[in-house]
Amino acid sequence: MEHKKLKTYREKLIQKKEEILVAYNKNKNYGKEADEEGAQDVADKAASSYTKEFLFSLSNNERDVLQLVEEALARVNTDDFGVCVVCEDEMDRKRLEAVPWAKRCLTCQEKQEQGLL
């Protein structure tokens, strides 16, 4: 992959990483505020528990995407970026534009989702 394109993808990945970390910190602070509210009745406690569970699930998803972003940045540094980790074919540019942290080509990703990989 040409150096200029690689630099563009690196910048997109770093931007996504920063977005995730900002969102994570917001959610963490919101969860702390929910704990400090001191809910009194059952409905408030249920709403607070639901909010904390929702924020926890968000942070799990963010953690997964953050890991994929970190792996993609590592591939950028080793010149393996843009190559499917399964079949080692070059990935489609449109796929990388849409999801720069993707590690599989569309064909291999579909096989993964179907449980064939």
Res 3: pLDDT:
86
Residues 24, 45: one domain? yes
> pLDDT above 70 covers what percent of the chain?
74
Do residue 2 and residue 55 come from a single domain? yes
pLDDT in tens, 64-89: 899 999 999 999 999 899 999 999 99
State pTM to two decimals: 0.73
Length in residues, the chain: 117
| Residue 56 sits in the same domain as residue 112 | no
Note whether 22 and 77 are same-domain residues.
yes
Q: 98, 72, 62: which is closest to 6 by C-alpha? A: 72
* Same domain flag for 76 and 22: yes
pLDDT for position 60: 76
Same domain, 76 and 87: no
Spatial distance between the Cα atoms of 86 and 110, rounded to a whole number of angstroms: 12
> Do 88 and 57 lie in a common domain?
no
Same domain? 103 vs 58: no
Q: Are residues 51 and 65 in the same domain?
A: yes
Whether 77 and 90 map to the same domain: the answer is no
pLDDT in tens, 36-64: 555 466 666 666 677 667 666 667 788 88
Number of domains in the chain: 2
Full domain range(s) for residue 54 = 1-81
Calpha distance 98→100 (Å, rounded):
6
Give residue 1's pLDDT: 74
